[in-house]
Structure 1
Amino acid sequence: MRYGLSHGAIGLLAVWLMLQTAWVYAHPPGLSSLDVTIKPGQIDAKVTFALQDIEAFAPMDSDLDAEVTDAEREAAKPSIAKLLAAQLRVNIDSRDVLPSEAGQVSFDDQNNARVELHYAAEPQNALLVQSKFLALLPDGHQQYLTVRDANGKALTEKMLGKHDDQLSLPIANTAAAESPQAPFAAFGDFFKLGVEHIVTGYDHLLFLFALLAVTHSFWPALKIITFFTIAHSITLACAGLNLIELPSSFVEPFIAATIIYVGVENIIRGDHPKGRHWLTFGFGLIHGFGFAGVLQEMDISSGDTGILLPLLSFNLGIETGQIAVAAIVLPMIWWLNNKVETAEKFLKAGSIAVSLMGAFWLVERTML
């Protein structure tokens, strides 16, 4: 009996440590985009950030009542434009240039801010773009930079980070050819982003953990993972083609609700409830919208493929990360589930912890 309790404690400890980390972050560090267009006689730049990334540097809650009204957001537009204009360095032919006018700021219904800046100059030899704002953000924040010509053709693309925040592009003229490495670089960037998203996306991982916690062997687990993959790939494609669009204000709370449901089902129905793969498929459709939202909300696209290449490579990254995590976690789950003295304790303790975490996220995403 003492042996069984020790292994049950090990399983509970693993879940507890995971939840302590998950309590802080339900999603990976931020993502933003920077789109630069070279036109005859001028350069246009559009920067898209989540409002939460900007609020610490351009406060919007002027009356300090913990709520930001539409009027307060409108009043904050000049300070947001000034902030991003100062943090975006545009160097044309070895000379830094300033915006020709105040930036234009707009907000969308996904809590993002978009700032459009215009520079009255055209590069003849070289263009350097540096996003200095990244130095103020967490290390994990990434910004996808695309430089286009006047026809919208991508000249080059790069994922910027805190420690690699600039791109230099040699230019003979504004009709410079697209870099042949750009599509391959974009594929690799978004593949890596997909891996990071699933590995640090603790709500998706807890959902998958709750689904797999009832399995004892390879085939049931494979069926669950396969149905989850098919489901979220479908909605990723639909979102990428703009066939279906769901607001994050619905998707994020619903994802939290799926975590609660699966955890409670584990507690009530116990070991491997029937139809778990169909439940996985249905809920996986919603999780797919959560994956797609990461790219859609930032207006991210790549070259002539638009959002399709980023979504494809991002999805492959998610699958790779998901398989890697499952390969590590599943042997531990099966080991605990196949021991009489630990199976019931592990399932109930883990499912209770997962349900509580889901409840926290649901409250956070609907009320806080």
Structure 2
Amino acid sequence: TSGVLAENLGLLGVRVTLLGVIPPRAQTFRWRYDLTFASYALTIKSPDPETAKTIWLEGSQESQPIALARAAAPSRTAVARSYFTLGFTHILPKGLDHILFVLGIFLLGRRLRPILWQVSAFTLAHSITLGLTLYGLIALPSSIIEPLIALSIVYVAVENLVTSELKPWRVVLVFGFGLLHGMGFAGVLREVALPRSEFLTGLAAFNVGVEAGQLTVIMGAFLVVGTWARRTDKYWRLIALPGSAAIALTGLFWTVQRLAI
């Protein structure tokens, strides 16, 4: 670039415009931003909103070549791959609150099947509210949703502390908490702007990615401590109780923190 323009947007932050000269006969360019370790969305817009293209980049990752001519609409396969990755990485490694919720589900289960039923109910629930929120049919401010998500983590962990038996209503509660988490997931997809032409593809791929991330957490935990489940007393004293206590305290801290923002 040959120059930078910055515009103060007040509470919304700062808009930075990069100025540069396109070399003769140039057909593509690449983008890289080295001042962050976090993931971010790069959206390439053109006069036709249908051809807007969003690329999800990790930290200082360099993008693939981007055409300087009018951007072509991304293919269905490209959209599915991109949003599956976004959903998976939103759980692993970035979604610590969702990871702790899933681990809270895991700690009370002695067998894999009931755990998978709960995770599936959670996925179904957050898929419903994620879609409804993105379509604008329901809306709650993040100042309400985020503390409630933290409280859902506290509840699951505290229930683990007071009972060693999986109750029939647990799956119903997990479904209800999934409705809250789905509204939280919607904020992620709003940032990256689902392509209009492949809205349902991107939404479905994101949900599948989230489910894959959750199942990876469950399978990893089961491989690490699954054999303890057959030794109920030791598993309960050495794994389930201290693990649930740590999750409950973390969730309580997040609740207070999010209420204070």
Q: Does 1:195 align with 2:88?
A: yes
Change (3 A) 1:145 1:335: same
Counterparts of residues 9-48 of structure 1 (less than 5 Å): none
Residue of structure 1 in register with 2:195 after alignment: 302
Output the amino acid matched with 1:204.
Answer: H
Q: Does 1:135 align with 2:34?
A: yes
Which fold has the larger relative contact order, with Cα–Cα distance below 8 Å and residues 6 or more apart in sequence?
2
Residue of structure 1 in register with 2:132 after alignment: 238
Output the amino acid matched with 1:317.
Answer: G
Counterparts of residues 120-269 of structure 1 (less than 5 Å): 126=27, 128=29, 130=31, 134-138=33-37, 140-148=38-46, 150-154=47-51, 156-161=53-58, 162-165=60-63, 167-171=65-69, 176=70, 178-179=72-73, 182-200=75-93, 201-269=95-163
Output the amino acid matched with 1:197.
Answer: H
Residue of structure 1 in register with 2:3 after alignment: none
Aligned pair partner of 1:338 in 225, 230, 233: 230
Deviations 1:73-97 (A, max 9, x none): 73896xx23xx11xx35655x27xx
Residue of structure 2 in register with 1:54 after alignment: none
Deviations 1:241-276 (A, max 9, x none): 221122211111111100111111111123323311
Structure 1 position 355, deviation (Å): 0.3
| SS of structure 1 residue aligned to 2:258 | helix
- Take 1:189 and 1:164, find their aligned partners in 2: how far apart are those partners? 15
CA contact (8 A) 1:146 1:156 kept: yes
CA contact (8 A) 2:52 2:195 kept: no
Output the amino acid matched with 1:330.
Answer: F
| SS of structure 1 residue aligned to 2:167 | coil
- Take 1:358 and 1:316, find their aligned partners in 2: how far apart are those partners? 25
Residue of structure 1 in register with 2:208 after alignment: 316
- Take 1:226 and 1:344, find their aligned partners in 2: how far apart are those partners? 24
CA contact (8 A) 2:127 2:207 kept: yes
- Take 2:157 and 2:51, find their aligned partners in 1: how far apart are those partners? 46
- Take 1:76 and 1:343, find their aligned partners in 2: how far apart are those partners? 49
- Take 1:363 and 1:295, find their aligned partners in 2: how far apart are those partners? 26
CA contact (8 A) 2:56 2:86 kept: no
CA contact (8 A) 2:109 2:166 kept: yes
Output the amino acid matched with 1:141.
Answer: S
Counterparts of residues 43-82 of structure 1 (less than 5 Å): 74=10, 80-81=14-15
CA contact (8 A) 1:90 1:129 kept: no
- Take 2:138 and 2:121, find their aligned partners in 1: how far apart are those partners? 20
Output the amino acid matched with 1:135.
Answer: D
Change (3 A) 1:212 1:168: closer
Report the structure, 1 or 2, having the larger strand content: 1
| SS of structure 2 residue aligned to 1:135 | coil
CA contact (8 A) 1:90 1:128 kept: no
Question: Where do 5+ consecutive residues of structure 1 fail to align?
Answer: 1-56, 61-72, 96-123
CA RMSD for the aligned pairs?
Answer: 2.9
- Take 1:363 and 1:280, find their aligned partners in 2: how far apart are those partners? 22
Structure 1 position 142, deviation (Å): 2.4
Structure 1 position 278, deviation (Å): 0.6
Identity of aligned residues (%): 30
CA contact (8 A) 2:30 2:65 kept: yes
Higher mean C-alpha deviation, range 154-163 or range 198-207? 154-163
- Take 1:359 and 1:214, find their aligned partners in 2: how far apart are those partners? 19
| SS of structure 2 residue aligned to 1:145 | strand
TM (normalized to structure 2)? 0.84
Output the amino acid matched with 1:315.
Answer: N
Report the structure, 1 or 2, having the larger helix content: 2
Output the amino acid matched with 1:323.
Answer: L
- Take 1:169 and 1:250, find their aligned partners in 2: how far apart are those partners? 41
Residue of structure 1 in register with 2:217 after alignment: 325
Output the amino acid matched with 1:248.
Answer: S
- Take 1:76 and 1:267, find their aligned partners in 2: how far apart are those partners? 42
Aligned length: 253
- Take 1:226 and 1:75, find their aligned partners in 2: how far apart are those partners? 39
Residue of structure 1 in register with 2:178 after alignment: 284
Q: Does 1:366 align with 2:229?
A: no
